[in-house]
Structure 1
Amino acid sequence: MKNRVKELRTIANITQQQLSDLVSVSSRTIISLEKGQYNPSIMLAYKIACVFNTTIEKLYCLKENLKNEEKNI
């Protein structure tokens, strides 16, 4: 699933380790999220969205991902 985690983390000038500490997960989880290899729980998505002062919908490009999913059906 496409997301903006890396983009927002870079803008905020924080490391993967710092983000992982803020949301209480491993840095490996953040790496996997940024690569689109892992879909987080709703609670983790919420925590990350709060760190970047955005919504889950915007963080995870939900409208764009929905359109892409519908194209594949």
Structure 2
Amino acid sequence: MMKNYNIKILFGSNVREFRHNKGISQEKLAELSGLHRTYISDVERGSRSISLDNIKKIANALEIEVFKLFIFNEEDHYD
């Protein structure tokens, strides 16, 4: 059962996990997505809301489907 969770933390955690699995740095993800490295860092920490356009850019850079960035895992953080 899903508890109340912070969507920004969930999303950021998934971005970080997919980035690590791909073996690339925040700098490389920023380059591939056309976003700034500090923006990627903020997203991964869950401290920034993100537009749909930027979600798509990150998914494309990670070569994954968008929905995978919203998959809930028990290890994710809650409010």
Q: TM-score, normalised by structure 1?
A: 0.74
Partner of 2:28: 18
RMSD (Å) for aligned C-alpha atoms: 1.7
Q: TM-score, normalised by structure 2?
A: 0.70
Which stretches in structure 1 are left out of the alignment for 5+ residues? 65-73
Give, in whole Å, the separation in 1 of the partners of 2:36 and 2:52.
17
Specify which of 29, 51, 55 is matched with residue 65 of structure 2.
Answer: 55
* Bigger RCO of structures 1 and 2 (CA < 8 A, at least 6 apart): 2
Structure 2 counterpart SS, 1:14: coil
Which stretches in structure 2 are left out of the alignment for 5+ residues? 1-7, 73-79
Q: What fraction of aligned residue pairs are identical, expressed as a percent? A: 26
